[in-house]
Structure 1
């Protein structure tokens, strides 16, 4: 038995369940990583305007398509509107710039990256402005319904085949659903064995919204700004025990757990061996009994706490997002 390779979105589009996360990957390292991932069979690529790597991704995909090694219709590209571009005009400008850098006529998924509006450092950049006296990011109070309206117009104009949200709480998703002409097709969030997002998963399932998980293995190599704890999922005794039982790596057990729960997963690695290992998480299926065992590990541990934006009125620390 193996897990499904695709989910069906509420638009009817096929959504590959295993994708390549590209956060913090840039330049030649990203190009080599992406080229090898496509060779292995990855067909879901996750990026964002704020990752500053859309140009490299566009170059690799363009080269493969031109060489006849890849068809555009067979690869699913997700990108995101940064939190410094939540006003409608900025959202539209950001989306057009992303398409230009990716060298695409459209993307497959366009997400609002965060609901927490921030002030741009300067025009033409996505980087947020930091207050020199407080050290905090300058927030901008933008109603993300305005942003959603912009995404709907991009959807109608075929700039994107699907639209969705990232790092939104249940309450914030409900606000979008209540105002939307076009409902979100996808919500992307942190999810793993220590932070299982049970309530959010049930809410999205009931509203026919697919979920994709970043940091599914625990994001060991995340930036220092997010290293507020040192827990390591791959060293958990139960995960190691199951790794030995199934003759799979701890990372494959962690990915398969989420795949069995109906998530798409977005692991990130630049190591050829790890890329192949992660891809092969599709090749088996945990038993229901062992899935229940992993469910007992849920302990509310986030690896990305976004401490720098806790002062924003749309940040709700005690809610799942």
Structure 2
């Protein structure tokens, strides 16, 4: 049986493992146990962010495994992100340095601008500032200056590659036109219900690798969102999973991997962490891919409504 791609080659010639471990909302011992098991299984791509507030735990697990001789740094691909409060040039540089301190690393493999929608930097370490009405305090930063900071840390070899997250086509083009070091990666919400065909085309033209967060449709959000369908329970996905003897999650991940899109499933379950990696040695048919493609434009689980009044927020463009 044919297999899907294990590594995605970026426009700078470097390779990214196509399946990564998402760590959003995972913290402390639960995260450390999940990550240690994932590394034991063979995961070599870890996705985090300064705003996840879990880089320290990730750094400890990596450090312990390398120290014990069970892992080599050059086998690992670590992605982190600069948060919305640190998009000024100097703050973005400091944020990168802080992430490296947390992770106990000399460099990360990928550094992303987490969002184009800035937040007020209070100067006290607050990552998500709220005003008296309980709304996030928005702030405009020049994302070209942020990118200049990214090129600076890249030139200092603090990161091997730089990229974007949650950016729309116009913003990507704005950075692309001015960049000396081109964006190598775009991370965004992408799954069978929200396939991002416009941005897939933009990224193909520029050879920007895409990585999908919430590739399973953010099951953790289903408890909090009224009336949104659960992707893992979609009848089409269930039917295909029964035909192949695979889980619905495995079908959804395999579908994206066939499009050369990296996937970042998140789980703290030992069984699901193992299951999510067992998607590389087989393929669903083109006919079944087309069945899944018909589910597109159904649900976006992360509309980022908090940013809708920000000047960089354009509801008419995909992100």
Counterpart residue number, 1:200: 199
In structure 2, C-alpha distance between the alignment counterparts of 1:203 and 1:228, rounded to whole Å: 32
Instruction: Check conservation: 1:82, 1:126, Cα contact below 8 A.
Output: no
Instruction: Check conservation: 1:257, 1:291, Cα contact below 8 A.
Output: yes
Instruction: For residues 20-77 of structure 1, give each alpha carbon's deviation from its aligned partner in whole angstroms, at most 9, with x where no partner exists.
Output: 0000001000000000000111000000000000000000000000000000000100
Counterpart residue number, 2:119: 118
Counterpart residue number, 2:57: 56
The runs of 5 or more residues in structure 2 that have no matched partner are none
Structure 1 vs Structure 2 CA RMSD = 1.2
Q: CA deviation at 1:300?
A: 4.2
Quick check: 1:137 aligned with 2:136?
yes
TM-score (norm 2): 0.97
Counterpart residue number, 1:184: 183
Counterpart residue number, 1:217: 216
Q: CA deviation at 1:299?
A: 2.0
**How many residues get paired?**
318
In structure 1, C-alpha distance between the alignment counterparts of 2:97 and 2:227, rounded to whole Å: 38
**Runs of 4+ deviating beyond 2 Å:** 226-230
Counterpart residue number, 1:272: 270
SS of residue in 2 equivalent to 1:31: helix
Instruction: Check conservation: 1:194, 1:300, Cα contact below 8 A.
Output: yes
Instruction: For residues 81-118 of structure 1, give each alpha carbon's deviation from its aligned partner in whole angstroms, at most 9, with x where no partner exists.
Output: 00000000100110000001100010000000000010
Q: CA deviation at 1:152?
A: 0.4
The runs of 5 or more residues in structure 1 that have no matched partner are none
Q: CA deviation at 1:138?
A: 1.3
SS of residue in 2 equivalent to 1:136: coil
Counterpart residue number, 1:5: 6
Quick check: 1:290 aligned with 2:288?
yes
Quick check: 1:158 aligned with 2:152?
no
Indicate the larger mover: 306-315 or 144-153.
306-315
In structure 2, C-alpha distance between the alignment counterparts of 1:223 and 1:104, rounded to whole Å: 35
Instruction: Check conservation: 1:78, 1:108, Cα contact below 8 A.
Output: yes
Instruction: Check conservation: 1:228, 1:303, Cα contact below 8 A.
Output: no
